Amino acid sequence: METLNYVELLKELVALRPVSADVAACNSVADRLREVLDGYGLFTAMEEISGRHILFAAAMPGKRPRVLFSSHLDVVPAADGKQFTAYEENGRLYGRGAGDCLGNTMAVVMALIRAKGRFSAGAVFNSDEEIGGKTVPVMLQRGYGAERAVVVSDHYEEDRITCREKGILNVTLIAHGEGGHAAYLMDPEKNPVDKLARAYLALRAAWRNPADRYDWKDSLNGTVLEGSQAVNQVPATAKIRLNIRYTVPGSVPEILEKIRSAVGDEIEIQSENACEPVATDTASPEVLRFKKCFESVRAGHEIGFAGMCGATDARHYCALGLPVIISGVKSIGAHGPGEYVELASIPLFAEVYYQFIATQGEG
């Protein structure tokens, strides 16, 4: 059988426009990928979850291979529809989802095809990662999993393996006061906009954000403001939403108390803990095995470890109680207008993945 033309397949999948909210488009990508993998003799199964087609593929029969890979097929929207017509330039493939995460999908697919019939490895390809990845827990409930390790093919860091992610806490600060016509002066102590502004500035003064993304501390950013619907109206209620990325599992109560202390009792606080942090022991045998494979492929390069401020489906696979490794192809500008993947990194990571699969032994 011919070698997979991963560049052309990647272009084809990008062109299908699998934006997360478009379930039909996401399903078309899953269906097309299954067709390709069936053609290479892989063992595939398609689960339907809330109308979505979630693809499982494996080099050998069974729902729980020794190593399970995970890569998502959905992408974020693009302001310019031209991003769905992928093109090559200077060794890069530009297009929405070229790196996040369809380029990673190509690396996983290539490794599985090579391992077919010899090594125990499989992959889940879901289509809602960009909106929470709620299909992954259902796949785990339906018996899909791994015996030894999970590799989430996502998030590029130069010569690094990601073994930790920050948790996500969404908080809304709400100030109540007097609303009315903006033509008339209002006491700043009663204007909810003023009250909210003071509270937010007090919180920012009390909170020390990380110096950069490698400074592993809790971070806080204001994201959404809500108030009046008219420029000449003072609202009776004003809100600001905060996105907090935190590092210590179980620390939400402490964080909320810190916020309460800073903003005062007049401000209402609502919170939603979106997900807990992820942490895999970098000294675990499977992580060290993956590191050795990575260093073998990247001869002359020492592979280190990194953390990420964003979130992936890794948080869902923690339920398996296995090492969860995050590593992926060189993708730059994810979610932006100039998103691209370095094409040479796709076979490179396919080789890393294959070597890791092979270290688990045949059969």
User: In this predicted structure, what is the pLDDT of residue 363?
Assistant: 80
205: left (phi over 0), alpha (psi -120 to 50) or beta: alpha
3-state secondary structure 194-237: HHHHHHHHHHHHHCCCCCCCCCCCCEEEEEEEECCCCCCEECCE
For residues 114 and 136, give the distance between their C-alpha atoms in angstroms, rounded to a whole number: 25
Q: Which amino acid is at 201?
A: L
Pairing mode of beta strands 67-72, 149-152: parallel
CB 311 within 8 A of CB 66: no
Q: Which amino acid would we find at residue 148?
A: R
Per-domain boundaries in the chain: 6-165+278-359, 167-275
Check: CB of residue 27 under 8 Å from CB of residue 127. yes
Q: Judge whether 271 and 256 are in contact, CB under 8 Å.
A: yes
| 167-275 has CATH 3.40.50.1390 classification | no
**Residue range 136-174, pLDDT digits in tens:** 999 999 999 999 999 999 999 999 999 999 999 999 999
174 DSSP β-pair partners:
239, 268
Q: Do domains 6-165+278-359 and 167-275 have the same CATH topology?
A: no
Sheet strands (E) in 263-303? 268-275, 278-279
Q: What is the pTM of this model?
A: 0.92
SS3 content of the chain, % helix, strand, coil (to 5): 30, 30, 40
* pLDDT per residue as tens digits for the range 166-219: 999 999 999 999 999 999 989 999 999 999 999 999 999 999 999 998 899 999
Give pLDDT tens digits for 261-306.
Answer: 999 999 999 999 989 999 999 999 999 999 999 999 999 999 999 9
Asked if residue 2 has pLDDT above 90, the reply is no
In 10 A of CB 127, how many CB atoms?
27
CATH number of 6-165+278-359: 3.40.630.10
Beta bridge partners of 121: 67
